[in-house]
Structure 1
Amino acid sequence: MTLLIVKNITREGPGILEKILHENNIGFHIVDLDAGDNLPEPDNYSALIVFGGPDSANDKTEKMHQELAMIEKAIDLEIPYLGICLGMQTLAKSRGALIRKNEVREIGFTSEDGEYYSVNIQDEFVNDPLFAGLGNPLKIFHLHGETVDLTDNIELLGTGKYCKNQIIKAGKNAYGIQGHFELTPEMFEVWLDNDPELMELDRNMLLQDFYELDGEYSNNGYTLFSNFLKIAGLL
């Protein structure tokens, strides 16, 4: 019973998820595509989580071609899947959705109106096992400029104010989340030092937002990843 974790860029990794995996002695294998690792066959794993990165699901690179093919195979085999940011968009792309530029870039914890970014879980999906023990709405961190236009074979579970399609589900057990719930303080510092879009913003304000939300944000991330691991039969 092993979890496959795919990193599209080295700095965007499991974070809070890794703590849960160690606490519960859950086996996992990390593939770092940014470091040149090769993608294994998904049917060798019990579940699959794909994290974010600066690529677009529309890229014509061999890396993206292989990633989309792997995700499509995993979903067809009903291997539990969770995609974060780019991993959500690649899930949607593998199901035939259109990936396009969003009307606004969502970067950080707060929008241009000064309010925290949040996701509203649709009423008909509040009892989905992914959301067990979570409140509604959920505050979230964003780092994306693209969005997805959904197809009939994708359900919309959660919506946002500036980017409507925030949490999706395809098939039996494949989920995608447009924002990030995995950040730890150490990871956030690395992102602030290296991500070009975050480096354009006020570092002190970003840190202030992070620490003001830390308890709520971390609890939500811990609960959400734990719920997915339960869906996958790993916890």
Structure 2
Amino acid sequence: MESRRRRPWRTRDYCADAPAQCNLAPRRRRRRDACPPMRRILVFQHVATEPLGHLDPLLRDAGIRIRYVNFGREPHAEPGVAGYDALIVLGGPMNVDQVHELPHLRYEMAAISEMVVRDRPVLGICLGGQLLAAAMGGDVRPNPVPEIGWYQIHTRPAAHEDRLFRHFERRPHFIFQWHAYTFAPPPGAVPLAWTRNCRNQGYRLGDHAWGVQFHLEADAALIERWISSPGGRSEIERYWDARRVARIRAATSAHLPAATALSERLFGEFLGYFSRRRYATLGSR
């Protein structure tokens, strides 16, 4: 009868060298940083017609988990921000001073402030840039004239060394805009860009929060949706004649390819920045 003794080759020394053949190998502790957790980003959306645009595929291709909060559908939502690595605040048709009609704007400014205090990257686009400015002590006011369409964005000297705005490469770019209000950067912020009609088009607060007035995220489908909707056409014709829509379409064909390339570089830099960062843990306020 065959002995039931362990075969001599089935030793822990053997199995340590050939773990695939044997389960006697000592278990090795996995390094904590060997498989970093998936990054999570919180996105504040105000209306369905203003989504992430170009940012959406960049986020998904980077393997970043997206949590949308659409205040148009969930006006009373107040998600905690502690579990997120970054925050993007999108545009919308409302204004920062409508906090009594739209209480979620007050919550958003508190959440933005908390993310800045936690040293988490923040990107505010159009209304989002205005909310970031207001949350951190800046001013939001009507612009001298509205900007709807393609406008040349010029950078300031500080933009040449900025992590995101250096991708403008010291030259103006045509970028799509749609706004009647604008921001004055908060105290301590660095102004980065301007147009002929709007002196503040972008700023950085600290080294991890950016506000922009322009819509670099807008793709062809979004722009067409905005200018062809009844509300959009009505707003355009309030300031210009009916031919303005056709001019915007022509300008979109001319300028969108270069703007798309710039958006991939600038937004890609933002995503890469927060994906690589390590954070200290702070308790909830």
Match of residue 7 from structure 1:
45
**Number of residue equivalences:** 228
Query: 1: distance between equivalents of 2:245 and 2:123?
Result: 29
| TM superposition score normalised by structure 2 | 0.75
User: C-alpha distance in 1, partners of 2:273/2:180?
Assistant: 30
1:150 partnered with 2:180? no
Q: Any stretches of 5+ residues in structure 2 without a counterpart?
A: 1-38, 238-243, 278-285
Q: Is this contact kept in 1: 2:203–2:211, CA < 8 A?
A: yes
Give the equivalent residue in structure 1 for 2:92: 53
User: Aligned residues: percent identity?
Assistant: 27
Is the CA contact 2:204–2:210 (under 8 Å) kept in the aligned structure 1? Answer: yes
CA distance in 2 between partners of 1:92 and 1:151 (Å): 5
Give, in whole Å, the separation in 2 of the partners of 1:39 and 1:181: 27
Larger RCO, structure (CA 8 Å, separation 6 or more): 1
**Could you tell me which of 13, 23, 35 is aligned with 2:61?**
23
Supply the distance in 1 between the matched residues of 2:204 and 2:59 (Cα, whole angstroms): 23
Report the 3-state secondary structure (helix = DSSP H, G, I; strand = E; otherwise coil) of the residue aligned with 1:43.
coil
> Is 2:180 the partner of 1:127?
no
Counterpart-to-counterpart distance in 1, 2:94 and 2:130: 10
The secondary structure found in structure 1 opposite 2:119 is: coil
Q: Secondary structure at the match of 1:179?
A: coil
Q: How many Å separate the matches in 2 of 1:57 and 1:128?
A: 27
The TM-score normalised by the length of structure 1 is 0.90
Q: Counterpart of 1:65?
A: 106
Shift of 1:195: 6.5
Aligned to 2:240: none
Distance 1:190 1:197 in 2: 9
C-alpha deviation, 1:194, in angstroms:
2.8
Q: 2:119 aligns with which of 78, 88, 96?
A: 78
Match of 2:263 in 1: 221
Instruction: Give the match for residue 129 of structure 2.
Output: 88
Structure 2 residue identity aligned to 1:119: I
C-alpha displacement at 1:198, in angstroms? Answer: 4.3
Q: 1:198 to 1:224 in 2, by over 3 A?
A: farther
**8 Å CA contact retained: 2:46, 2:72:** yes
Unmatched segments (≥5 aa) in structure 1: 110-116
Larger Rg: 2
Question: Paired residue for 1:159, among 194, 203, 211?
Answer: 194
Amino acid in structure 2 at the alignment position of 1:131 = F
The structure-2 alpha-carbon separation of the partners of 1:11 and 1:149, relative to structure 1 and needing over 3 Å to count, comes to: same
